[in-house]
């Protein structure tokens, strides 16, 4: 069996697009499953869209996600160079050959490929037989007047010269495929296998784009999505696990991957599903590992000791690492208590809440400042004074944190400490006068 060689060929336009990463994931997986090679090629011949620093963004995104390529512009390989802008002489050579052999002709200063009669077909690994009538395809430019190649010509030459065995890409390239096959056949080059993946869609079924969804991988990194969660999510877009699992490691995707399990219907890029998955992966982390991961997201400058204490309180509530600051800021910043919300949530007037807080301060005394003791005290006090338990706890929560939704109240009080708890209850009392 010939060596499996696959590639991704992004354009360096300023961001690592989640759609490109989706394609990279399936190429990487197929290569690893078959002990083949995964190649990164940079398509930088569109000088109008080229952003010089964008290559680094692509390298960093693939590195963060662990999609290691075996050959590429920054690491080399025996079929380089891996930037199209460094391969212009090669395109000129083969364009001239097609011209000489009668498969192309000059059109002003450009070279145009002569589309033959008949039909062009291939067996797509995902979609089965696809066929085009050649009379529907006009003669097309392969080398422009500035000696830069057209997209279809450069891709065909590069894939041939880099010995790419399987071209796994998005379905939007289906219409390009017959042109590329014509070029292979005219040059006497072997035609690779093709697999066209479904396009990612927004929830309204439009093509995923930055107008409706974040598409830059850097955004997902900055929001605190874990790379393994994002990969798991992308695996599920168009592919299904044979055991019906939603949560699984990359090793399982590599083991069970097959083109037969890929659906041709457009998968929906649902951020809510990604949030859920990311929360699952966060909860699977040890507190020690999570502490390290949270360091870049600690915007409030919480001490490492306090991070240790708060992780167990917020771990179940986080769907993204970026939520850590919002969930924990009240431990270090004095909260702004909204009197209107305090009364609405407690369904009581100021006098009643004032009496409750005074009673707490009067009776809490010298109890042991630990979660269980605090909970027993508040429950017993509510029973004795006939307070509505849920509303009583809610007003205390708002007074201490300024929020209606927080980590468990008594664990929070233990971490806040006795002095801060007393101070904040007294501050709330001053609002109730």
Are the C-beta atoms of residues 361 and 374 closer than 8 Å to each other? no
Active site residue 93: no
Rounded CA gap, 184 and 194, in Å?
13
Burial 11-46 (b: 16+ CB within 10 A, else e): bbbebbbbbbbbbbbbbbbbbbebebbbbbbbbbbe
Q: Using DSSP bridges, classify how beta strands 128-133 and 140-143 pair: parallel, antiparallel or unpaired.
A: unpaired
Rounded CA gap, 344 and 231, in Å?
43
Tell me the residue length of the chain: 433
Convert 56-93 into a string of H (helix), E (strand) and C (coil): HHHHHHHHHHCCCCCEECCCECCCCCCEHHHCHHHHHH
Are the C-beta atoms of residues 30 and 61 closer than 8 Å to each other? no
Q: Using DSSP bridges, classify how beta strands 104-107 and 37-40 pair: parallel, antiparallel or unpaired.
A: unpaired
The active-site residue, picked from 56, 207, 210, 368, is 210
Q: How many CA atoms lie within 13 A of 253 on its CB side?
A: 26
Rounded CA gap, 65 and 322, in Å?
18
Closest C-alpha among 78, 5, 62, 68 to residue 37: 5
Catalytic sites, residue numbers: 210
């Amino acid at each position: 069996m010939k060596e499996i060689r696959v590639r991704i060929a992004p354009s360096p336009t300023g961001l690592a697009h989640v759609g490109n990463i989706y394609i990279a994931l399936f190429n990487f997986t197929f290569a690893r499953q078959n002990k083949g090679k995964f190649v990164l090629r940079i398509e930088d011949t569109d000088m109008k869209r080229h952003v010089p620093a964008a290559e680094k963004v692509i390298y960093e995104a693939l590195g963060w996600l662990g999609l290691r390529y075996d050959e590429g512009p920054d690491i080399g390989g025996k079929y380089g160079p891996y930037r199209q802008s460094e391969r212009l002489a090669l395109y000129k050579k083969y364009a001239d050959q097609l011209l000489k052999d009668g498969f192309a002709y000059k059109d002003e200063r450009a070279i145009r490929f002569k589309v033959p009669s008949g039909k062009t077909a291939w067996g797509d690994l995902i979609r089965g037989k696809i066929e085009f009538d050649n009379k529907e395809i006009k003669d097309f430019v392969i080398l422009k007047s500035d000696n830069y190649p057209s997209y279809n010509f450069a891709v065909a030459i590069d894939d041939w010269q880099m010995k790419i065995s399987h071209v796994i890409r998005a379905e939007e390239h289906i219409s390009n495929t017959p042109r590329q096959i014509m070029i292979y056949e005219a040059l006497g080059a072997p035609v690779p296998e093709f697999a066209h993946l479904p396009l990612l869609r927004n929830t309204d079924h439009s093509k995923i784009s930055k107008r409706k969804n974040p598409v830059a991988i850097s955004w997902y990194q900055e929001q605190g999505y874990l790379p393994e969660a994002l990969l798991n999510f992308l695996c599920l877009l168009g592919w299904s696990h044979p055991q019906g699992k939603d949560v699984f490691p990359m090793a399982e995707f590599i083991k069970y991957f097959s083109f037969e399990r890929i659906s041709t219907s457009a998968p929906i890029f649902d951020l809510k599903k990604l949030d859920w998955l990311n929360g699952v992966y966060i909860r699977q982390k040890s507190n020690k590992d999570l502490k390290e991961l949270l360091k870049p997201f600690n915007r409030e400058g919480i001490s490492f000791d306090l991070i240790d204490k708060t992780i167990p309180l917020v771990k179940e509530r986080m769907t993204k690492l970026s939520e850590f600051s919002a969930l924990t800021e009240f431990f270090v910043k004095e909260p702004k208590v909204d009197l209107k919300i305090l009364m609405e949530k407690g369904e009581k007037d100021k006098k009643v809440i004032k009496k409750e807080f005074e009673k707490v301060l009067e009776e809490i005394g010298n109890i042991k400042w630990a979660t269980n003791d605090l909970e027993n005290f508040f429950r017993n006090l509510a029973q004795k004074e006939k307070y509505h338990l849920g509303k009583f706890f809610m007003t205390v929560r708002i007074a201490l944190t300024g929020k209606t939704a927080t980590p468990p109240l008594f664990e929070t009080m233990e971490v806040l400490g006795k002095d801060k708890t007393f101070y904040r209850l007294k501050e709330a009392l001053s609002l109730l006068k």
